[in-house]
Chain A
Amino acid sequence: MSASSPVTFTWGGFYEGFRLVLPLLPSFAPFGMVVGVLSAGEGLSLLEAGVMSAMVFAGTSQLVALGAWGSPVPVLAVTLAVFVINMRMAPMSAALAPWFNGLQGWRLWASLFTVTDHSFALSVNEMRRGKRDAALLLGLGVPSWLSWVAMVCLGHVLAGVVTLRPGHPLLFAGLATMCALLVTLWRGRGDMLPWGVAGAVGLTVQAMGLGQPWPVLAGALIGSAAGAWRDRSRA
């Protein structure tokens, strides 16, 4: 990840991201439809559900916000809930810094907007392989964004027709995708210590009764600190 070659931003990179994300798009469909069904249940219009998904573009946090919905909307409560759930994305954009450093203006702002769990995993892998074309992020992000909004709207339209209750096996698609992406992030035995610490801390924090994002924030910080500490004592 040296800054030896400059970061580029080309259609070729965009297309590469598009190609990588295409097989993943169906895995968002159940989750998006549930958010659509729930927003219909909370009395949101189709337009409101679509605008929310287009502007927020973060499924888990939308799900949690809809759980706290009401009339009038408790703006402060839903905003805080969304911020806390999405705090896990801050270390993601930090880890992608080598690419963002080469971007300016709208390219930087737009690329930052499209950071999601799956686009992060896919792009970090490409970055580690030495790819320097940051347009890959938008290539991953734009199709994800379009299909997310489309699936939420579809769920809203079909609300009442489909019954996709919480706990349905199809909703496991999101986590199953993350499990598969996790495999691609494995670099070798050196990952065992930081990953083990991260997992143990995450489980411990959850056992203490703290829900997301606290397990992931504590696990990611302490796990990666364990890895950095080990690297330093080796060097």
Chain B
Amino acid sequence: MNLRPDVLLAIFCMALATYAARAGGYAVLRLWRPPRFVEAMLTHMPGCIFVSFILPSVAAGGPWHVLAAGVAVVMMVFTRMLTASLLAGVGALWFMLG
């Protein structure tokens, strides 16, 4: 159960960098009133962040990952149940890689 100084320093710097990334986006807005175009961009940001994060990650996994992601999406569209959808996605991948 030890806590070495170099590890602690690394953890501290990682935590600081993460908090700066988390809070930074909002901090900029608190200090500076954005033009209307940027405000309009922010309303589109949530979906765009998710799409551009998920799509490359899933594609990198190969065709089975793409198919399993499709299963999760279709399940969510029809059931609107998060747990069922993520289980369906994981189950589909497990079955296909099985």
Contact = CB atoms under 8 A, between A and B. Distances in A.
B72 A91 contact: no
Contacts, number: 282
Interface in A168-210: 169-170, 172-173, 175-187, 191, 194-195, 197-199, 201-203, 205-206
Interface in B19-75: 19-26, 28-30, 37-38, 40-61, 65, 68-69, 72-73, 75
Contacts of B9: 73, 75
Given A73-B6, A75-B6, A75-B13, A203 B55 contact: yes
A78 interface: yes
A194 B73 CA distance: 18
Q: Is the interface of A mostly helix, strand, loop or mixed?
A: helix
B52 A94 contact: no
Nearest to A216: B53
Interface of B: 1-4, 6-26, 28-30, 37-38, 40-61, 65, 68-69, 72-73, 75-77, 80, 82-83, 85-86, 88-90, 93-94, 97
Contact of A180 (B10, B55, B86): B86
A139 interface: no
17 contacts: A47-B1, A47-B2, A48-B2, A65-B10, A79-B14, A91-B49, A95-B42, A181-B82, A183-B76, A185-B47, A191-B47, A198-B49, A201-B52, A206-B56, A219-B53, A223-B51, A228-B38
Given A75-B13, A78-B10, A92 B44 contact: no
A225 B2 contact: no
For the complex of A and B, 3 pairs with smallest distance between CB atoms: A219-B52, A176-B89, A90-B25
Contact of A93 (B24, B61, B93): B24
A187 to B, nearest CB: 8
B54 A223 contact: no
A168 to B, nearest CB: 9
A224 B38 CA distance: 9
A44 B4 CA distance: 9
A51 B18 contact: no
B83 A172 contact: no
Given A93-B22, A96-B26, A181-B82, 8 more contacts: A83-B21, A92-B46, A182-B47, A184-B80, A198-B49, A215-B53, A224-B41, A227-B44
Contact of A228 (B12, B44, B53, B80): B44
Given A45-B1, A228-B40, A169 B56 contact: no
Contact of B77 (A61, A92, A183): A183
B26 A112 contact: yes
Contacts of A202: 51-53, 55-56
Given A101-B30, A195-B51, A216-B53, A176 B90 contact: yes
